[in-house]
Chain A
């Protein structure tokens, strides 16, 4: 579904944040990316939907080279959901408006359809009663569940998560992970950057260890956690487990 070839990314400075990443993410896979802070996990994820422009390499999505010229990137992004660490709900819109804005604006759904669809999604995450609330009136955990729903309203083929629970109070992490687990069970293709190792163990089909702009190790969670090979990964795991 997503194929990444020799991905490099340099920001203004001369330091390369991504130094050659190759990945093949298949339909239905749940790929979890872990790694130390500053290793390039967010940058990698943001390259997948071109929020960052790669300096070198190829990104294929659904058989299309998306970092080529004259690709309608907005059409591509409409099929890729993204969930941010800080939720990024539109603060001047109500919950339901947050969810229906893009489908209506992009004429994918009629306003009635979009609303119906949004209410159904809200029911799915147990937040139907917050439909008319503003983001400032709800908790962090609720915000993130709504941010997930907002992405789902576009019927994406893949969902990208960048540390979706890192900004949450501990007691709210569970409710967000539950939604993500349910989503995983429904067969969604997911790429998740997280520090929640429990989630990785339980849900991931594959765990990637990223350090210094490269994927140093990848394996199914069992192997990944019980039999790490790369010394840097061993060190990383010993620190966080």
Chain B
């Protein structure tokens, strides 16, 4: 019995000691907070960029599929979109990040956050494009034809009739894509961007203590993902309700 109590006492002493060393000392928690903010910043703006790219590419792709005789310019644009999707989805995101930072912006002194936003945004755009495309295809063709038969042009029909319904169908999938993106930004350390993961790893290398900093980072990611997942679940429930209306 006393052995167990001693063990627990020891553990708690040890625990608070380690906690102090890894989180409190030298204001290391500030490093974590700053890293967290950078992670959120990169994720947020990459999501925005990904949405813009994704919608544009999806509209190009599905418009192309329904065009009977596309002209040369349109063929080229569609081809570029296809290459974009293939290359981005066929290569690791880390490589893409490194290429953006060390190759494309090699000669310019680009802010690392901006480089990360561009890399992750371009990456996410490819996945968003496929999600949006499936959403567009999930809308009954009759909706599109009804719009056109009333005299709306292609883009008016797309924007006022097809996309709102498509968006509703894909909101949960988009939400999940952003959860994936949040976790993927953890490789930002490869371009020495001090995000949450890199911050935790930096503390590890200073204190020679892996457990605390890494578990703290993992815990924060987990909380963020759980919040986002709860949001997606609520969204799904709300969408189902509005379907029954």
Contact = CB atoms under 8 A, between A and B. Distances in A.
Contacts of A102: 147, 150-152
A74 B153 contact: yes
Given A53-B68, A136-B245, A82 B156 contact: no
Size category of the A interface is 20 to 34
Interface string A54-80: 000000000000000000001101111
B27 interface: no
A152 to B, nearest CB: 11
Interface string B140-160: 101101111111110010001
Interface stretch (A84-92, A115-123, A224-232): A84-92
A79 B68 CA distance: 24
Contact of B161 (A53, A77, A90, A150): A90
B165 interface: yes
Nearest to A79: B151
A90 B146 CA distance: 8
Contact of B243 (A136, A147, A151): A136
A80 B149 CA distance: 8
B165 A91 contact: yes
A77 B143 contact: no
A239 interface: no
A237 interface: no
A88 B153 CA distance: 17
B168 interface: yes
A91 B150 contact: no
Contacts of B244: 136
B231 interface: no
A24 B171 CA distance: 49
Interface in A134-152: 134, 136-137, 147, 150-151
Contacts of A88: 140, 142-143, 145-146
Contact of B160 (A74, A105, A136, A154): A105
Interface string B179-195: 00000000000000000
A191 B29 CA distance: 75
Interface residues of B, number: 22
B165 A84 contact: no
Given A53-B68, A88-B140, A106 B145 contact: no
B146 A105 contact: no
Contact of A75 (B140, B151, B168): B151
B164 interface: yes
Contact of A77 (B151, B160, B164): B151
A216 interface: no
Nearest to B245: A134
Interface string B224-245: 0000000000000000000111
A181 B200 CA distance: 76
Contacts of A82: 146, 149
A75 B148 CA distance: 10
Contacts of B161: 90
B151 A92 contact: no
Contacts of A78: 150-151
25 contacts: A51-B148, A74-B148, A74-B152, A74-B153, A75-B151, A77-B148, A77-B149, A78-B150, A86-B140, A88-B142, A88-B145, A89-B146, A90-B143, A90-B161, A101-B150, A101-B160, A102-B147, A102-B150, A102-B151, A105-B156, A106-B151, A106-B152, A134-B245, A136-B243, A150-B150
Given A51-B149, A81-B149, A136-B244, 10 more contacts: A53-B68, A78-B150, A90-B143, A90-B161, A102-B152, A105-B152, A106-B151, A136-B245, A150-B150, A154-B150
The 10 closest A-B pairs by CB, nearest first: A78-B151, A88-B146, A88-B142, A102-B150, A82-B149, A77-B151, A74-B153, A74-B151, A92-B164, A92-B165
